[in-house]
Structure formats: structure tokens, C-alpha cells
Amino acid sequence: AVMQFIFAPVLGKISDIYGRKPVILFGLMGACIAFLIFGLANQLWLLFASRMLAGLSNANISVAQAYLAEIYLSKDWVEHDYQKAITYLRLAADQDLASAQYNLGYMYQKGLGVTFNPVISLMWINIAAINKYEKAKETLNYIISEMTSIETGKNIAHANRLAHQCIKNNYKDCS
């Protein structure tokens, strides 16, 4: 933690000069080397040195955050490359990441990169709620209130069936 505290500004300045990606790659390589040294160490000082190297390498977290901010604020993101986002969110949702499942539901609810579909939206947000994502639990009532009263009962039941079927099939063939 001390090494991260000391070297985060240093790596930030280096990333301003040489770019974010090389510094992030340096951090990944440094972490790999640190873990290798830690695993092969036969003396106490090597353990401490490897942890110091790991701390220095992990100081790149602020660089990674800056890189994400730049991507988010870039022209490409402002133009809303939703199709790419859907692809990545789907991969993360398949790995049982509840926040990705929630975001997929949101994108279906708003029609961002996909066709507007309240049932599929409700299905993904329901899956996120089942996986204990608190924001999803809060959003379920809002989505249900947006549906018309005639279709609400059928849509909710259909979305619940789809959600349980999707979970049962390990997120394969989810609509």
C-alpha cells in the first residue's frame, strides 16, 4: 500500500508522457514478475522485495482509471458504440456478473444498441436481482410500472420464466 501511495503519482506522470497502455502493461508484467519472485523466494528479503515490486506495479490502478475515463469521454464513446457494449456485457453476463446483467436489462429497456424489449429487459434485471444486485431489485418495480396494465401480468410471468430458464441453462440461449 505504501508503494502504491508513493508511485501512483509517478506512474501517472509517466503515463502522461508515454501513454496509458505502456504503463498498464508495465504494471501487469511487474505483478507477474512479483508473484513469480514471491513463489520462488527462499529468503525473507526476497518476499519483501516481491511485495514491494507488486505494490509498485499495482500503483498503475490510477492510470487504468484515467484510461477508462478517457475512453468514456472520447468521441467514439459519445457516438454510442452500443453494439460493442452489448457484446462485452453479454460476455460478462454469461460469467454471472450481476452488474452486467443489470446493464443489459437497462439497454433493452431503453433500446440502446438493441430493439426495445421490456420482457427481455425485465428478464435480465430479474436475473441480476436473483444474483443479489441491489440496484436491480430497486429497478424491477420501476420497469413493471412502465408496462401497460393489460400486458403486465403476462410479461412479468414470461420474463420470470425466461430468467429462471436462462439461469438453469447457465446463461446459454438467453434471448
pLDDT tens, residue order, the chain (175 aa): 888 888 888 888 888 888 888 988 999 999 999 999 999 999 999 999 999 999 998 888 888 888 877 776 555 554 467 777 778 888 888 877 888 888 888 888 888 777 888 788 888 888 888 888 888 888 887 777 766 665 677 777 788 788 888 888 877 777 6
DSSP 47-62: HHHHHHHHHHHHTTHH
Q: How much is the pLDDT for 46?
A: 94
Grid cell 506495479 is found at 57
Q: How much is the pLDDT for 150?
A: 57
Q: How much is the pLDDT for 53?
A: 92
How far is Cα 153 from Cα 159, in angstroms, rounded to an integer?
10
Record the pTM. 0.52
Q: How much is the pLDDT for 48?
A: 94
How far is Cα 98 from Cα 139, in angstroms, rounded to an integer?
13
